[in-house]
Amino acid sequence: MTIKLGIIGAGRVGRLHANTLTTRIPGAKTLVVADIFKDAAKSAAEDYGIPDFTTDPSELIGSGDVDAIVICSSTDTHCRFIIEAARAGKQIFCEKPIAFDLAEIDEALAAVDEAGVQLQIGFNRRFDANHARVKQAIERGEIGEAHTMTIISRDPAPPPIDYIKVSGGLMMDMMIHDFDLSRFLLGEVEEIYALGDVKVDPAIGEAGDIDTAKVMLRFESGAFGSIENSRQAVYGYDQRVEVFGSKGAATTGNWHPNAVTISDAMSVRRDLPLHFFVERYFESYVSEMIAFVDAIANGKTVPVVGNDGRVPVVMAMAGMRSLRENRPVRLDEAEV
Ligand SMILES: NC(=O)c1ccc[n+]([C@@H]2O[C@H](COP(=O)([O-])OP(=O)(O)OC[C@H]3O[C@@H](n4cnc5c(N)ncnc54)[C@H](O)[C@@H]3O)[C@@H](O)[C@H]2O)c1
Superfamily grouping for domain 3-117: NAD(P)-binding Rossmann-like Domain (3.40.50.720)
Q: Which residue of 42, 47, 60, 72 sits with most ligand 1 atoms within 8 Å of its CB, as the best mutation to test the pocket?
A: 72
Ligand 1 center from residue 112 Cα (angstroms): 21
**Local structure of residue 300 (DSSP, 8 states):** P
Question: Whose alpha carbon is nearest atom 15 of ligand 1?
Answer: 12
In the chain, DSSP assigns E strands to 3-8, 28-34, 52-54, 68-71, 91-94, 119-121, 146-154, 189-197, 212-219, 224-230, 238-245, 248-252, 262-263, 268-269, 329-330
pLDDT score, position 205: 98
Q: Report which ligand 1 atom has the smallest distance to the Cα of 73.
A: 24
16 lines ligand 1 (CB under 6 A): no
pLDDT score, position 290: 97
Fold of 127-277+312-334: Dihydrodipicolinate Reductase; domain 2 (3.30.360)
Digit-coded pLDDT (tens) for 136-188 = 999 999 999 999 999 999 999 999 999 999 899 999 999 999 999 999 999 99
pLDDT score, position 131: 97
278 lines ligand 1 (CB under 6 A): no
Ligand 1 center from residue 14 Cα (angstroms): 7
CATH 3.30.360.10 domain span(s) along the chain? 127-277+312-334
CATH 3.40.50.720 domain span(s) along the chain? 3-117
Q: What is the pTM of this model?
A: 0.96
pLDDT score, position 335: 82
For the chain, which residues score pLDDT lower than 70?
Answer: 336
pLDDT score, position 296: 97
34 lines ligand 1 (CB under 6 A): yes
Q: Burial, 298: exposed, middle or buried (Cβ in 10 Å; 0-12, 13-18, 19+)?
A: exposed
